[in-house]
Structure 1
Amino acid sequence: MIKYLSQFAIAFASLYALGIGALYLGQRSIQYQASTDRTTAPEAGLAGFQDIVLITPDGEKLVAWWKAPNPGKAITLYFHGNGGSLWNRRDRARSLTDDGRGLLMVSYRGYSGSTGSPTEAGLHTDALTAYDWIAKSYEPSRLVVYGESLGTGVAVRLASDRPVAGVILDAPYTSTAEVASKIYWYAPVGLLMLDQFRSLDIIQKIKAPLLVMHGTKDPVIPIEFGEKLFTAAHEPKTFVRLEGSGHSSNLEDGGLKAVDAFLSNVEIQIASSRSAKKAEVP
């Protein structure tokens, strides 16, 4: 009996090790479910948008949709989630610019026709590249960073490194490792995961106004992750709890109203700043 139990234990341990090894080697293909299909702004039906290509410092070419803002309007720098493509966000691009606001929606490396392969470091480089492109023509006081799901980690990191007028987090997490550990409870995720996007560790570096939206029925990133991240953030901050909303439809399930109010407040600050500068002129 002992012999058979020993053999079983060895077989089980071997299978477990193989499974963990496969999970480790394939983790980025699981974490980044990229569609490589490229869609132009005209093909997406986005009037007033331009297709642009941004070149990162490490030589990657990032596909992006850009719509310039009307005078006095805010600009949203949008970072999407881990799945799909720009095409899947075309309705959001339209909704976020209906009132004359600007938008730069970037396709990460490896997504939607952009070159390269996604990694945490790579996505942060992509974010900085997009920010710097906008900053060449517009003041940071007009720029609001919007992160969706995986993109919330990108947004938090960028806003902790660069000045922005506001941060919007749509279905955020404390870290991707903590989310993954709920799914792969049997694996030492904290030790093995390469790209952990530890937003909780840096959220306090953000001084800009913060809006967090989370659905109560989110099956991917449970709302308690968003609540925990929100608690750790500095004021001013607002949490919008969307009853019955899932993971990928918070903006459509009532969040757009909160986003519009948030961006309107940024535009009030823009107008106030302009008035103050005019008053200083002799």
Structure 2
Amino acid sequence: MAKRTAGESVMTILWLGVVGYLLLTGLMFAFQRTLMYPAGQTLPEIEAVGLPGLSEVELTTKDGLLQRHWYVPARKPGAPTVVVFHGNAGQLADRVPKFSFFADAGYGVFFVGYRGYSGNEGSPTQSDLVEDAATVLNWMRDQGISPEKTVLYGESLGSGVAVQLAAEQQFAAVVLEAPFTSVADVAQAHYWYLPARWLILDQWNSLAKADMLRAPVLLIHGEQDAVTNVRFGRQLLDAIQAPKEGIFVPQAGHNDLYNFGLRERVTNFVAQTITVQ
């Protein structure tokens, strides 16, 4: 058997590298929604979270799926209701302790349960999550909670949901925690060695919608955020034309912003945008 020349060995290595790269790219494309939406936990007992007045709301999506959400009504007459859209690794139960300070202030809080998360049926996609969120807002209007008394709170992935909704209709206020310009930008920053920007099915392009927001916006971001780099938050804030405020915490990362005394500042922002009767 003839020995391979050095050139043939190099070509073999190069071809193996190309095949490996294409295989990796194909796998990332095929499993991107599994990476983007790490969902599937079961819904815990609502009594276990210990928030007085919290109850379960069951809604049916347009495509016939049963979705469970949690809701505590406002205790003060005329107080707003804060609609919480959690991040991609969040669940209903772990967001109640984080955002119970809104209920402590007398505000209503609606914890949105995504499809595929917290034991809910279905698999998440951008269009489905936005459509499901619209179903929640329709239910709130049926309960007499107007958009003028509704605050959208979007956390990480949830910031994309909040921006999409706020671009279509004006609400009392919008709070964006650790937001992004688009998921495509975030993916490209993390997977710089792949054409990630061109592989993303659910773009969540908040930057393209930023100048359509009309409600006052509070944007909070940690400068040590290793998930959605703070530069994305700054770019998004610059693009927003509505009344806005940015809080950038030098020591904070992606998940620990509320370790730096933000509860009072966020509550004050909401209070300033709504006159509580």
Shorter-chain TM range is over 0.9
Partners of 2:249 and 2:138 in 1: CA distance = 33
What is residue 133 of structure 1 aligned with on the other side?
139
What is residue 117 of structure 1 aligned with on the other side?
123
What is residue 272 of structure 2 aligned with on the other side?
265
2:242 to 204, 218, 235: 235
- Tell me which moved more, 80-89 or 102-111: 80-89
Partners of 1:253 and 1:127 in 2: CA distance = 29
Q: Which amino acid aligns with 1:55?
A: T
Alignment of 1:12-27 (within 5 A): 12-27=17-32
Contact 2:211/2:242 (8 A) holds in 1? no
1:230 is paired with a residue of what secondary structure? helix
What is residue 81 of structure 2 aligned with on the other side?
75
1:202 to 184, 196, 209: 209
C-alpha deviation, 1:170, in angstroms: 0.3
Partners of 2:234 and 2:263 in 1: CA distance = 19
Contact 1:78/1:145 (8 A) holds in 2? yes
What is residue 153 of structure 2 aligned with on the other side?
146
Q: Which amino acid aligns with 1:142?
A: K
Q: Which amino acid aligns with 2:106?
A: G
Partners of 1:199 and 1:84 in 2: CA distance = 20
2:19 is paired with a residue of what secondary structure? helix
Q: Which amino acid aligns with 1:96?
A: F
Contact 1:142/1:266 (8 A) holds in 2? no
- Tell me which moved more, 39-48 or 220-229: 39-48
Q: Structure 1 length as normaliser, TM-score? A: 0.92
Q: Structure 2 length as normaliser, TM-score? A: 0.94
2:61 to 35, 51, 56: 56
Contact 1:35/1:85 (8 A) holds in 2? no
- Tell me which moved more, 38-47 or 224-233: 38-47
Q: Which amino acid aligns with 1:53?
A: E
Partners of 1:204 and 1:76 in 2: CA distance = 22
Residues 1:125 and 1:252: Cα distance change in structure 2 (over 3 Å): farther
C-alpha deviation, 1:162, in angstroms: 2.1
C-alpha deviation, 1:256, in angstroms: 1.2
Contact 2:53/2:72 (8 A) holds in 1? yes
What is residue 3 of structure 2 aligned with on the other side?
none
Contact 1:216/1:223 (8 A) holds in 2? yes
Gaps of 5+ in 2: 1-5
Partners of 1:242 and 1:93 in 2: CA distance = 19
Gaps of 5+ in 1: 272-282
1:248 to 255, 270, 275: 255
What is residue 103 of structure 2 aligned with on the other side?
97
Q: Which amino acid aligns with 2:87?
A: G
1:42 to 34, 47, 64: 47
Partners of 1:233 and 1:205 in 2: CA distance = 8
Contact 1:242/1:255 (8 A) holds in 2? no
C-alpha deviation, 1:114, in angstroms: 1.1
Size of the alignment, in residue pairs? 270
C-alpha deviation, 1:201, in angstroms: 0.3
CA RMSD of aligned residues (A): 1.3
1:7 to 9, 12, 29: 12
C-alpha deviation, 1:164, in angstroms: 0.6
What is residue 85 of structure 1 aligned with on the other side?
91
Residues 1:64 and 1:252: Cα distance change in structure 2 (over 3 Å): farther
- Tell me which moved more, 1-10 or 13-22: 1-10
2:175 is paired with a residue of what secondary structure? strand
Are positions 1:28 and 2:8 aligned together? no
